Structure 1
Amino acid sequence: MRLIQSLENITTPANGWAATAGAFLTPVFYYFYGENRQDILIVLFFMIALDWITGVRASKKDETYSSEYGLSRIPRTLFLFALPALANLLDKVMGTPGFLFYGVTFGLIYHTWNSLTANAHRAGWPMPKSIVNLVGSEIKAKAERAARKEYK
């Protein structure tokens, strides 16, 4: 009897829709990004999310944040999510399994790492001096743009 009651909690319309969406979207995801690449994509997506968080905080601190600033970052973020998929499709066409995908993805991770650490520094969050030295040019560029209020 308990098993039937617990199944009633699982078999809800919302869970049914979620399972159906997953059944259709998972093959699409694998087609665009390739199989067994979830870990590196999670790293990239997580770093992009941290870049957003640190960027918003830094912009609010130096008063360069506006709704246009936030909205203009949405197409940029979609573009960053699309680049690994494009690289994977080019790998398929050219017969280079993973060469472009991993090159592009690691390049984006490196770029995003520079951006999020520079934003964290601009926001006043504690950063090890060695990390600040590594991204010094990015910190300088972001500080100059903020001083000119060019975050549009």
Structure 2
Amino acid sequence: MQFLQTLVNAATPANGWAATAGAIVSPVFHYLYGSGRMDILVVLLFCISLDWVTGIQAAKKEDKTCSSEYGLSRIPRTFFFLALPALANLLDRVMATPGFLFYGVTFGLIYHTWNSLTANAHRAGWPVPKAIANLVESEIKAKTERAMKQKEGK
């Protein structure tokens, strides 16, 4: 009887919608990104998330505000960063190069995003080892200059 009660509690409209969404999204995700690639995509998403967090903190520290206009302009950029690996995967399939473009593009995006989030963390005053900060020195300089121009424009 308790088993049937558990089934009744599990069969809710919300669970039905979630199962339907999963049944639709999962094959689309597999088609766009390929199989066995979840880990690398999680790394990319994690880097993008950290870039957002560190970028917000750096903006608050440097110009004492968090420009929502600048932040909102990052949304299409994020979607673009998530679409590029899918495009690379589809091109890999068309050209029969199993993963060459996908992994090249995805690792390139991770590297780019790592540079950005590390520079943002440094600008926010978070403890970034000197050796790491030196690796992204040009990114720190570019971000600082852009922040100054944005601050002067207000």
TM-score (norm 2): 0.93
Count matched residues. Answer: 151
Structure 1 unaligned blocks of 5 or more: none
Report the CA distance between 1:119 and its aligned residue: 0.3
Residue matched to 2:138: 137
Please state whether the residue corresponding to 2:150 is helix, strand or coil.
coil
Match of 2:82 in 1: 81
- Percentage identity across paired residues of the two chains: 73
Unaligned runs of 5+ in 2: none
Question: 5 Å matches for 1:1-152?
Answer: 1-63=1-63, 65-149=66-150
Q: Which amino acid aligns with 1:4?
A: L
Q: Which amino acid letter does the alignment assign opposite residue 11 of structure 1? A: A
Q: CA deviation at 1:86?
A: 0.4
Select between 41-50 and 136-145 the one with higher mean Cα deviation.
136-145
**Aligned partners of 2:126 and 2:2: how far apart in 1?**
51
**Separation in 1 of the partners of 2:3 and 2:131?**
56
**Residues of 1 paired with 2:86 and 2:50: CA distance?**
21
- Partner SS for 1:97: coil
